[in-house]
Chains A and B, each alone.
Chain A
Amino acid sequence: MTNRKNWGYFLPYGLWLVLFVIAPVALIVYQSFFNLDHQLPLNNYATYFQSGVYLKMTANSIWYALLITLFTGIISYPTAYVLHQLKHRQFWLLLVILPTWINILLKAYAFIGIFSQAGMANNFLRFIGIGPHQLLFTNASFIFVATYIQIPFMILPIYNALDDLNPAYVNASLDLGATRWQTFRRVIFPLTLPGVKAGVQAVFIPSLSLFMLTRLIGGNKVITLGTAIEEHFLTTMNWGMGSTIGVILILAMIIVMQLTNDHDQPGGFPR
């Protein structure tokens, strides 16, 4: 095959790389230097780091994302573990994946009904004698719904890691006299850690940017980085500041990726 023909094949993909991957990132970084009046470069960053509001919002957003990731992990690991021991596990795994095919907004919308004053959650609280409470538009409901949405994305990588784990290691550990708990703590968990890390990656970063949930479920009480970006771009039209927060979000993303990537195992999962 001649080189020129190769070029022809690469052209559409190359154009995509330049126009839709490199250019947008470059533009958002460029835009982040300009404020509303197209003044002084770095002005936005000065505002960002000097105003307590932005820093507090960022800290809040990271804190919420951490909580969501933590809860998702605590719920998902045992689920993946039990799931992996089932007979028809492929079928059950399919049932875990199925909810991710339902539009996220429909799931959020369902919780508007469930958490409403006369909704199912309050009926349950009344039934056990501690209700009704204001559930919708609280921080707790935001965390609950975000965790609900993220659970399948955490279960899947952990399940895959468990699947890749060689059962001989577990048997060896048990044969050598380790208790079940020791085997789990010293053998199974360390060997499936890459799966957990992949899950953290899949959950933490989107949790920083779930602006539709903060609007629909959190009632604008929780402001995540994503909410702030949406607000600056589509409501106050301050694209410069929005881009600045965007760059901060990109940096946060890179840090998370660096922390959760396994440099010694290029494959990501142990074989």
Chain B
Amino acid sequence: MKKLSRAYLILIFIILYVPIIYLIVYSFSAGDTMTNYHGFTWKHYADLFADPRMLAIVANTLLVALLSALIATLIGTLGALSIHRTSKRVTRDVLLNLNNILMVSPDVIIGASFLIFFTTLKLPLGFGSVLLSHIAFEIPIVVLMVLPRLREMRPAMLAAAQDLGATTKELLSRVIIPFIAPGIFTGFFMALTYSLDDFAVTFFVTGNGFSTLSVEIYSRARQGIDLEINALSGVMFLFSLLLVAGYYWLQQRHHRRKNKRQGATL
């Protein structure tokens, strides 16, 4: 039984990773198709880094991701603070439900409704609309990451700070923000990955001139196999590995600190 379950697990992991390995292996193939490996080459990576259009798109994608994640983190944190502050349970539940609408809505709905929204306001489609959309769908995840930290905060700590003469500003910058910082970082990270991962919403609101990596991959993949995309996937896989490592490092650090603190109070 144990052997059987091990075998099953190994099979699942093979299925999960075969497509990714397949992509990356062929990024080093000298041929032009994803069939019959033709021997090792760096050619597709060289092509990728010499393709000015692709490089511009990578820069666009990173710019949108970083900028939107920063702004979303700021607004989301403020939102979490105000949701946490609401004393009425009903108001808080309503706010939380509204917050979660964009979390559960299918991408197409978000994309289509934002497209109507931007057109109604006569906002031109392009960098601005993509940035605004990304900020919009990243805010709720930041709120959801920051709120639990706020709930963990003991009211006695705030009362103590106020008794010792802290002003509202000091309370926020010296007590609250440092305490919820891990939540803010996690929120920022999640926002960043949401932005990098998004295809559908961007596809709807991007217009003609502006493109992100997902949209570019989609339009190239519709034309067939192009090993430059494989090279791109190799680079993006490395990048994701770094992001995952960073994310887990943050989490581990948070847990270690928490354990240390709990150990100290025991």
Contacts from A to B (Cβ < 8 Å): 1, 5-6, 9-10, 12-14, 16-17, 19-25, 27-28, 31, 75, 78-79, 82-83, 85-86, 92, 94-99, 101-114, 116-120, 148, 151-152, 201, 205-206, 208-209, 211-212, 215-216, 225-226, 229-230, 233-234, 239, 242-243, 246, 249-250, 253, 257
Contacts and interface: CB of A to CB of B under 8 A. Distances in A.
A110 B22 contact: yes
A119 B139 contact: no
Main secondary structure of the interface of A (DSSP, over half): helix
B26 interface: yes
Contacts of A28: 109, 112-113, 116
Contact of B116 (A31, A108, A253): A31
Nearest to B74: A12
B20 A102 contact: yes
A104 B112 contact: no
Contacts of A10: 78-79, 82
Interface size class of B (residues with CB under 8 A): 35 or more
A129 B222 CA distance: 31
B114 interface: yes
B75 interface: yes
B8 interface: yes
Nearest to B247: A101
B23 A106 contact: yes
Interface stretch (B41-49, B179-187, B193-201): B193-201
B113 A246 contact: yes
A101 B139 contact: no
A106 B102 contact: no
Interface of B: 5-6, 8-9, 12-13, 15-20, 22-23, 26, 33-36, 74-76, 78-79, 81-82, 85, 95, 98-99, 101-102, 104-117, 120, 132, 135-136, 139, 143, 168, 193, 196-197, 199-200, 203-204, 213-214, 217-218, 221-222, 224-225, 229, 232-233, 236-237, 240-241, 243-244, 248
Question: Taking each of B109, B193, B197, B224, which has the highest tally of chain A beta carbons within 10 Å of its own beta carbon?
Answer: B109
A234 B200 contact: no
Given A99-B17, A102-B237, A253-B106, A109 B221 contact: yes
A109 B220 CA distance: 10
Given A16-B139, A101-B240, A21 B101 contact: yes
B145 to A, nearest CB: 15
A102 B236 contact: yes
A252 to B, nearest CB: 9
A101 B213 contact: no
A105 B221 contact: yes
Contacts of A229: 108-109, 112
B116 A243 contact: yes
A78 B8 CA distance: 9
Contacts of B217: 103, 105-106, 109
